[in-house]
Amino acid sequence: MSVTTEATFRPTPDTAEGVKPLLAAIASLSTASLSEIAQRLHQATLPYLRSSALVIFTEDCTGRPQKKSGDEAVISQVSIAELDAIKATLSADETWQGRAPIGGREHPVLALPSPTNALLVLVDPRPVTGEGGGEGGGDLSGQEAPVPWLVRYLWNLAAERIREKVADAPPSYLIESRAASAERVRVTAELVDRHSTTLETLLAALRAPSLADDAARKSATDVAAKALVELRTLNDRTTELVEEPVATAFQRLRDDLRPLMHFSGIDVQFIEPPVNGRALPGEVAHAARAIARGLVLAMVEQPDVRRIRTQWDCDGENLLINVRDDGQGNLSREAPSIVRLLQRVEVLDGRMTIDLMKGWGADVAVTLPLDPPERKLPAAGAWNLGDRELEVLQLLAAGQRNRAIAAMLHVSENTVKFHLRNIYRKLGATSRTEAIALAHSNGLR
């Protein structure tokens, strides 16, 4: 295991042809969507550092905190607990190299943090040597191997791209993210309930006085108790990823607006939400910060504004946002920036009212529900699924991946993908996660 804080390998392309691949990689990352970012980053780093799989762990994306590319055996099994354990070994801008469990097996890994608090894990990293870009021998787990500075640069670019995309997420992303968050919480809660019952039963049996072997009983009790604690910790960690304390979310808003307060000369006042207010779902927290930031920036652009007040409150069911300025009351409801903010509010089933008072300023009130609206779902029979489509949906709802479904039904993966496209269309689902949620809601497991 080794920890490094500064890259020592600095390849400098000395010809125009040598620069082109790097510029192409930068352009590709700069335009990547959230669903493409891991694959594009993986391709961009391969000329400088080989790896069998790449995993990004970012708590900004509450619905899908993992973004993965590479070896299916690794990326299909990697867990948040494994990534948390790797992240715990890092501090500040350190880079960690060593062996760690990832995807259920121990692998050589290279872990890089980022200024955005995201984590990059490269699995089975191998240095690239020689002019032809051939692979070097061995892995990085047993040596103080330098990390190419271009890998760090590309990773920091990708991490910043993720933060920007989440901050400016379109309505469709918020809907899908909320569905994914709810589904992960539900699945984790089911696992916790199931295994907690098993472990508690085991503990009760082992503590029974009828068992004579005290040493064996104590050993087994310790193992079961540890497993129970770990399971509860996993449940708590999952909840943390999809919920954010309201006070923490508001503090992040203040941090975002601090440069504006410093340089604009405008007095931006903050009225704190109740510390014990209900935690915010991740999508609501992200949207609330974006809405408040957008309103403040729109107000700053007006002449004669000297003071802006931003207030958050909770009534147990809604997050209540109020932003008010002391301008002339000329804030335009039709301005593109205000229209975009209204779309963000509406996608979360919220409401926004703008009260303009000539000579006194603008007062904007936003209400964001903390719980998603109930969705009326068609009965499974109303989907008009064929027999084979129903079989595929049932296996999908049971957590099977495309390859496993193909093997069980004795068909090709392409056939499974064909059925899934038809299933999504008939269910009105936009993603695999949403289709699974719909299936579970209608009793398919």
CATH code assigned at 283 = 3.30.565.10
Same domain, 264 and 229: no
Domain boundary among 241, 275, 290: 241
pLDDT of residue 18: 62
Same domain, 162 and 69: yes
Per-residue pLDDT of the chain (445 residues; tens, 9 = 90+): 444 444 444 445 455 566 788 888 888 888 888 878 999 999 999 999 999 999 999 877 766 788 899 998 888 888 888 888 898 888 766 888 999 999 889 999 999 999 888 899 999 999 886 433 444 444 444 454 567 888 999 999 999 988 887 776 665 566 656 666 665 665 566 566 556 656 766 676 667 666 667 776 777 777 777 777 777 776 666 666 677 888 888 998 888 888 777 777 788 899 999 888 888 887 788 889 889 988 998 898 888 889 999 999 988 889 999 999 999 988 888 888 888 888 888 878 899 999 998 889 999 999 999 887 655 545 556 788 888 888 898 888 877 888 888 888 888 888 999 999 888 888 888 778 778 877 876 766 5
Rounded CA-CA distance 174/136 in Å is: 43
- pTM, entire model: 0.50
pLDDT of residue 133: 41
Same domain, 58 and 163: yes
Q: For residue 435, what is the domain's CATH number?
A: 1.10.10.10
Same domain, 237 and 258: no
Q: Which residue has the tokens 């984590």?
A: 119
Q: How many CB atoms lie within 10 A of CB 367?
A: 18
Same domain, 355 and 273: yes
Same domain, 226 and 277: no
Q: Do residues 115 and 156 lie in contact, with contact meaning Cβ atoms separated by under 8 Å?
A: yes
Same domain, 180 and 153: no
Domain boundary among 225, 241, 257: 241
Q: How many domains are contained in the chain?
A: 4
Same domain, 283 and 329: yes
**Domain contains 156:** yes
pLDDT of residue 210: 67
Domain boundary among 184, 218, 241: 241
Same domain, 103 and 32: yes
Same domain, 213 and 279: no
**Domain contains 334:** yes
What type of residue sits at position 414? N
**Domain contains 375:** no
Structural domain for 272, as ranges = 246-369
Same domain, 147 and 13: yes
Q: Angle 149-167/282-300 helices, nearest 10 degrees? A: 80
**Domain contains 152:** yes
Same domain, 158 and 293: no
pLDDT of residue 132: 38
In whole angstroms, how far apart are CA 440 and each of 380, 396, 397? 10, 10, 7
Provide the token pair at 34.
């959230």
Q: For residue 11, what is the domain's CATH number?
A: 3.30.450
SS3 for the chain, per residue?
Answer: CEEECCCCCCCCCCCHHHHHHHHHHHHHHHCCCCCCHHHHHHHHHCCCEECCEEEEECCCCCCCCEEEEECHHHHCCCCHHHHHHHHHCCCCCCEEEEEEEECCEEEEEEEEECCCCCEEEEECCEEEECCCCEECCCCCCCCCCCCCHHHHHHHHHHHHHHHHHHHCCCHHHHHHHHHHHHHHHHHHHHHHHHHHHHHHHHHHHHCCCCCCCHHHHHHHHHHHHHHHHHHHHHHHHHHHHHEECHHHHHHHHHHHHHHHHHHHCCEEEEECCCCCCCCEEHHHHHHHHHHHHHHHHHHHCCCCCCEEEEEEEECCCEEEEEEEECCCCCCCCCCHHHHHHHHHHHHCCCEEEEEEECCCEEEEEEEEECCCCCCCCCCHHHHCCCHHHHHHHHHHHCCCCHHHHHHHHCCCHHHHHHHHHHHHHHHCCCCHHHHHHHHHHCCCC
pLDDT of residue 7: 41
**Domain contains 374:** no
**Domain contains 216:** yes
Rounded CA-CA distance 183/441 in Å is: 11
**Domain contains 121:** yes
In whole angstroms, how far apart are CA 391 and each of 160, 401, 436? 41, 13, 13
Provide the token pair at 149.
């500075």
